Amino acid sequence: MPDNSKNIISSEKELKRQKQPWWRWLITAAAIGLFVYVISQQGWEEFVTTLKTVSPPYALAGLALLFVSRQAVAARWYALLKVSEKQIHYWETLKLTYAGFFATNFLPTSIGGDLVRFIGMTQRGADGALVVASLIMDRIIGMAGMSLVLPGGIYMVTHPISAAIATVPFSQMVAAGGFGIPLQRLWGKILGFLKTILNNLLFWVKRPKNLLLAFLFTLLHELLLFSMLWFFLRSLGEEVSFWTVTSLYSLSYLATLIPLSIGGLGIQEMSITYLFSQFGGVSMQAALALAVLNRMAFLFNSLPGVFVLPSVLKEKDKTQRTKTEKN
């Protein structure tokens, strides 16, 4: 268990804060509206035609790869939880991981994915402080894995292989989208997150086997994720190297880490469209379709969580009623 109990309690409280600030609602609406506007500028008929040209075998292969990557994500969290004195089974970890995916994708404003996983795992007898620490480290390892290919994305953006050919002035549209937020509040959150990382590293560095295993699973997850995107591009008739896919998507991932929109809605779609059309040699219509296919794939793959989430929430409500009656 992490040594600094105050930090763990603070992290636990942070997990339970689900109310979204007004500016995040505004940015989410602006980002989605901006993405829809880009599609309309390109032409809805052309966009629908592009989606109709998707090759089913490649698209289904991409979906299958993402499904396997979900198992790797669950295994990553399971590797971290194995330090618990309470015996934890992979199957339980997998079910809660899917419940978290479903909450993140379909209930982003009412209950977050990390909170679902926290509640579900503590319901199964795991130590709350350890669960919080594992969830934080799970995210850190995910970012660490993606950072391995981030230099490639930075290089591609700073050394473009061809001139920008997009027909939509992205820079002007983003500026007009109203992406201003209280910077002081954001900076405070960044500093708090960095402190949390340092506190957790002190705990997990003493358990290198669990960290290494979790990192290997995140590499497997990312390999499958990049392969999914590569297959989606192939399904759209776009010949793009695997290296290009990994490099550019790492930048898109970085964009969604900044807590601007709810669930990365709009931000992820815009970043994928911009990066792949401007620096990946992908046509604008194909880049737009890729962004939509990516979002749909994650939504579809999170659907199994609907069978687990109700039981977690039911037990949560039952626990709350018991506490209320005691008080």
Q: pLDDT, tens digit, for every residue of 64-119?
A: 999 999 999 999 999 999 988 888 999 999 999 999 999 888 876 556 788 899 99
122-157 tens-digit pLDDT: 998 888 888 988 998 899 899 999 999 999 888 888
190-247 tens-digit pLDDT: 566 566 666 666 777 778 899 999 999 999 999 999 999 999 999 999 999 999 999 9
4-33 tens-digit pLDDT: 444 444 445 545 555 667 787 888 899 899
> pTM to 2 decimals?
0.82
Q: Output the pLDDT for position 187.
A: 54
Asked if residue 327 belongs to a domain, the reply is: no
Asked if residue 198 belongs to a domain, the reply is: yes
Asked if residue 100 belongs to a domain, the reply is: yes
Residue % of the chain over a pLDDT of 70: 76
108-129 tens-digit pLDDT: 655 678 889 999 999 988 888 8
> Predicted confidence band at 175 (pLDDT cuts at 50, 70, 90)?
very low
Q: Which residue segment(s) compose the domain that 254 sits in?
A: 10-319
| Structural domains counted in the chain | 1
> Predicted confidence band at 327 (pLDDT cuts at 50, 70, 90)?
low
Asked if residue 36 belongs to a domain, the reply is: yes
123 neighbors 322 (Cβ within 8 angstroms): no
Contacts 24+ apart (CB under 8 A), 73-79: 73/97, 73/217, 73/218, 73/221, 74/98, 75/217, 76/138, 76/141, 76/142, 76/214, 76/217, 76/218, 76/221, 77/117, 77/134, 77/135, 77/138, 77/214, 79/210, 79/213, 79/214, 79/217
Asked if residue 3 belongs to a domain, the reply is: no
Question: What is the CA angle 149-256-46, rounded to 5?
Answer: 95
Asked if residue 220 belongs to a domain, the reply is: yes
Asked if residue 161 belongs to a domain, the reply is: yes
